[in-house]
Each structure stands twice: as C-alpha cells, then as structure tokens.
Amino acid sequence: MSLSPYYRFCMRFSFLSSMGKRLARSEPDIEILLEKADKNLRGDVFYTGLVGAVIIALISTLLLVTIFNLSILSGFPLPIRLVIWVAVPPLIGVFTYAIYNYLPRNRISERKKSIDRNLAYATNYMAAMASADVTPSAIFRGLAQQDIYGEIKVESEKIARDIDFFGKDLIKVLQKAIVRSPSEKFQDFLQGIITTANSGGSLKVYFMSKAEQFMKDNRLTQERDLQTLGVMAESFVTVVVATPLFLIIMMSTMAMMGQSGGDVLLAATIFGLIPVAQIVFAVLIGDTGGGD
C-alpha cells in the first residue's frame, strides 16, 4: 500500500497512529467503506490522518484567532475576544472532523451514480462479448480497458487483477467484488452472474436480458429526471429571476420615496438571496443529473 506524503507524515507520530488504531477498532466497517470509496487505505491509517487533520486545524485556527485578537479585533471588548478565542478553534476542529468523514461517503455516492449510469451500456458490451463465446474473465479484462464506462472500468480492473495476478477463482473474485461495490444494482448483477454460472445457465442469455432490463430502467430514469428538471426550471424562473426582480423594483421605489430600510434589504437581496438561491438550484440540478 503506497501512502501519500501526508499519511506518511502522520504515521511518524506514535500518538496519532495509536489514536487512529483505537478509532478503527471502534468502527469495524471502515475498511469496507474505504474499499467502496476506492481508497487504498487501512482503517487505522485513515483515522490517523483524520486525527492529524483535526489537530492541524485546531492549532492553525488558534494561531490565527490569536493574531486577529491582537490586531484587527483589538478594539472589541475583552469578553467578546475571549469567546471568539475559545469557541472558534473547537468549531473548526469539529467541522474538519465532519468534512474528513464525509469525503469517503461522498466518493461512494459519486461512484454509485457512475456505475448505475453506465451499467446498461457496459452490460450491452458484455452481452456482445458473450455472443462471441468470450469467457467471463476475458470480458472483465476487456471492460477494464474501456474508459467510457467510468467506475465500472475501475471495478473490472480489480476483478481482472484478482484473477490474473492472484490466481483466484472467478466466483470468489465476484463475491469479493459484491462486498466492495458501492452500487446495489451492480451487486445484484454480479450475484446473478454467480448464480447463472453455478446453475449451468447461459451467461449470454443472462447478459442480454439484463442489458434489456437496464436500458428500460435507464429510459424511465431519464424521463423522470427530465420531468424533474422541467419543474425545477419553472421554479428557478419564479424564485431566482422573477421574485428578486420584483423585490429589487419594490425596494428601489421605497428608497426613492425616502423610506428607510430599503437599501439594506436591496443589498441583502442582491448579495444574499440571489447567490444562495442559485447555489441551491445548482446543487439540486447537479444531483438530479446524476453528477454530470
């Protein structure tokens, strides 16, 4: 296992590595989670890096807050400066811990979407290969060379590696691939290969039937996403375009009539409401589109 310079740096400190081992023992599923995220890390190494990141964040924030308290915030009352000095570093530490833990889970979600999105096309490829009487092992080797299938290519590389370099049986390799796959749909597909092979069925027929099923699922998913995007487009025009425009006109009129508060509300709308609404819609649209 090749570690990045950051993890090698953290592993040099025995207190960090011991804390990482304790955290890994308290979270037995971390190894599977890291495999699903395609992170080539042991659980204790991951948590060692997490503890190191939290400590670095705490020390850095404490130094920055101290500098700010002695310079920019020197005019503020002492109680306020003490609250900032005491409260901000722990908050940043908790935020760092949460982000570090979130990253593998976010990676799992991205990989799942990629696999589900490309599974129908990869299954068509497998059906075509099986029609030419290509063995399952050779089919996965072929998939491992096809970049267009996204994370399915990565999973196929691991399957081909386990067969070619470790000499493992295809069934055992697929069973291991089921455990580490982030996609339930891909897990079911691999389990179907195992069942078909063990029962003496035709993999060619199985691949063709699954390809047809996945293509139908894809069409239904795309139709649903298009309908959702249509609703969101109408909502975007209403929430992000029409409503702020109405508010800007109304508050500009209030300011011209000499009423107080219009300038503040106008600035809040332009620099607060509109950017936040655009970010929210961008996130929602990105999630609906499967990350594309």
* More confident call, 253 vs 25: 25
Question: pLDDT class for 58, splitting at 50, 70, 90?
Answer: very high
pLDDT in tens, 171-181: 999 999 999 99
Residue 122: Cβ-neighbour burial (10 angstroms; 0-12, 13-18, 19+): buried
Residues 163 and 65: their CA atoms lie apart, in Å, by 55
Kindly report the backbone phi and psi dihedral angles of residue 290, in degrees, each rounded to the nearest multiple of 5, phi listed first: 70, 25
218 in Cβ contact with 120 (< 8 Å): yes
CA-wise closest residue to 185 among 214, 220, 164:
214
pLDDT in tens, 244-277: 888 888 777 777 776 655 667 777 777 888 888 8
Q: Would you give the distance in Å from CA 231 to the centre of its chain?
A: 25
Question: pLDDT class for 19, splitting at 50, 70, 90?
Answer: very high
pTM: 0.77
Q: Which helix (H) or strand (E) holds 143?
A: helix 136-143
- Please compute the mean of the pLDDT values over residues 92-113 and round it to a whole number: 93
Strands (E), the chain: none
Whether the per-residue pLDDT at 281 is higher than 60: the answer is yes
pLDDT at 148: 93
- Please compute the mean of the pLDDT values over residues 172-192 and round it to a whole number: 94
pLDDT in tens, 130-146: 988 898 899 999 999 99
Q: Which helix (H) or strand (E) holds 182?
A: none
Matching residue, tokens 């503020």 = 76
Residues 280 and 109: their CA atoms lie apart, in Å, by 19
* 2 DSSP assignment: P
Residues 271 and 268: their CA atoms lie apart, in Å, by 5
pLDDT at 258: 67
